[in-house]
Amino acid sequence: MELGKINKLKVVRIEEKAYYLSDETGNEVLLTKDQVEKDLIVDEDIEVFIYNDENKNFVATTQKPPIQFEKFAYLKAKKVNKYGAFMDWEMPIDLLIPFDEQNGKMHEGKWYLVFMVKDERSDRLIGSCKVNEFVFFDKIDIIEGDEVDVLLYEKTDLGMGAIVNNLYKGLIFDSDIHKKLHPGDTIKGFVKQVREDGKIDLLLEPLGYKNSIDKNSQTILNALEKNDGFLNLTDKSSPEEIKSSLGLSKKAFKRSLGNLYKQKIIDISNEEGIKLV
């Protein structure tokens, strides 16, 4: 039975208000009946998350928290006191980040990148904000062009910091950001390059994507991105409206619309205007 993870367990006995679940080695944990929508039967399998209660007992829940053991997540601090910072991870008991696992003073109501670990002294699940201790800067097993899972967590002077595949640190440079991004977003990204220091430069589109976009199409995309993904222009708009908004002729505008639509970058079904997909 793995603490801090989703476990597939078997119902071994049933009481009035609870089910007792067991793993293959006979370890048991209690799951209250209010956690499930339908009645379970003996020998039925169920997936549950295992965490500690206040007495360090293992407890099962069907809730799927936003963070698991040895994973990163972006969490909000609910309160900060003499014991540390207590993070909201959508569970009955908050996740503690002790002072020695903090990078600096933490504040109630603010959001932080957190990695879940187990405290060796208490065997409890805790969080840590010491990101560099839990990412790899060597033996990188991704290469230029790979699609990766990205967790955004920090706006910097250079761009948006990110965790890549839950293993590496990455960065999307401001010059490569053409839509609104927010810390805490989980998105797909693409490896631009793996730097010598082991950090990953990222793109929001596959390599070569920009080369497939002509100058006029890029003008339309830039305008869309500056206007929350929508432009009140269509192929029926007057040449004067198009020229005033984009600096393009109507002919060039219509040609570029077709190009973007074929690549499934925009939606032109709305008679009021065009929308970024």
Q: Give the model confidence (pLDDT) of 196-217 as tens digits.
A: 999 999 998 887 665 556 778 8
Is residue 270 included in any domain, yes or no? yes
Is residue 109 included in any domain, yes or no? yes
The share of the chain scoring above pLDDT 70, in percent, equals: 98
Is residue 139 included in any domain, yes or no? no
> Would you state the pLDDT for residue 231?
92
Amino acid at 172: I
User: Can you tell me which residue has the tokens 């799927």?
Assistant: 64
For residue 264 the two structure tokens come to 């499934």
Give the tens place of pLDDT for each residue, 162-194.
999 999 999 999 988 877 899 999 999 999 999
Say what the pTM is. Answer: 0.75
If asked whether residues 193 and 244 sit together in one domain, one would say: no
Query: Which of the four pLDDT bands, split at 50, 70 and 90, describes residue 92?
Result: very high
The share of the chain scoring above pLDDT 90, in percent, equals: 72
Query: Which of the four pLDDT bands, split at 50, 70 and 90, describes residue 1?
Result: very high
For residue 87 the two structure tokens come to 């993070």
Q: What is the CATH number of the domain that holds 103?
A: 2.40.50.140
CA dihedral for 170, 175, 176, 181, sign (positive or negative): positive
Domain that holds residue 112: 72-132
> Would you state the pLDDT for residue 209?
61
Establish how many alpha carbons lie within 13 A of residue 140's alpha carbon, considering only the half-sphere containing its beta carbon. Answer: 23
Mean pLDDT, the chain, integer = 92
Is residue 67 included in any domain, yes or no? no
Is residue 97 included in any domain, yes or no? yes
If asked whether residues 199 and 236 sit together in one domain, one would say: no
Is residue 142 included in any domain, yes or no? no
Other CB atoms within a 10 A radius of the CB of residue 248 amount to 20
Q: What is the DSSP string of 199-236?
A: -EEEESS-TTTGGGS-HHHHHHHHHHHHTTTEES--TT
Considering its fold, how many domains does the chain have in total? Answer: 4
pLDDT at 126 over 90: yes
CA distance 49 to 65: 8
> Would you state the pLDDT for residue 105?
93
